[in-house]
Amino acid sequence: MSALLEFEARLDELENILEEQGLLPNTPPSPSALSSTQPFAIDTMPFTSWLAFVFISKCRQMIAQGQLPPSMAIAPAAEVYLPNNANIVIEQLYLLDALTQSNSDK
C-alpha cells in the first residue's frame, strides 16, 4: 500500500474513532475561532474541533492533490489537550505522525 493510501486509511480511522468515542464535534467553529494564531487554535476551540475541522480537513485537501502532509508531530499535543480516556485517538495520531516522518526520510 502506498504511503498516501495508508495515510488516508489512517485518517479515516481517526475520524471513525473520534465519532465512536463521542469526541467528533457536530458544529463547526466560527470564522473568528478559525482565525486563531495559536498552535492548534487552542485559545479559540477545543482540540477535538481543531482535529475535525482543521487537521482532518487540511489533510484531506492534501490527499486530493496527491500529497502527504509534511513531517508532523500532532500526537504529543493530543496527549496534553485530550482527556485521559482518549488513548485510542492519541495512538492513531502517533501512527499518522510516523507516516509523515518516514515519508520525509526518503
**10 burial via Cβ count (<10 Å: 0-12, 13-18, 19+):** middle
Domains and CATH numbers, the chain: 3-25+41-104 (1.20.1440.40)
CA–CA gap between residue 54 and residue 105 (Å, rounded): 25
pTM of the predicted structure, to 2 decimals? 0.89
pLDDT averaged over the chain?
92
- Segment 34-46 mean pLDDT: 94
Give just the sign of the alpha carbon dihedral 7, 12, 16, 19: positive
> Cell 510516523, residue?
98
Residue 102's pLDDT is what?
A: 79
Task: Write out pLDDT tens, residues 46-73.
Answer: 999 999 999 999 999 999 999 999 999 9
∠ Cα 86 89 91 (to 5°)? 110
Report the Cα–Cα distance between both ends of the chain, in Å, rounded: 16
Residue 1's pLDDT is what?
A: 65
CA–CA gap between residue 32 and residue 93 (Å, rounded): 26
Which region, left, alpha or beta, applies to residue 40 given φ > 0 means left and ψ of -120 to 50 means alpha? left
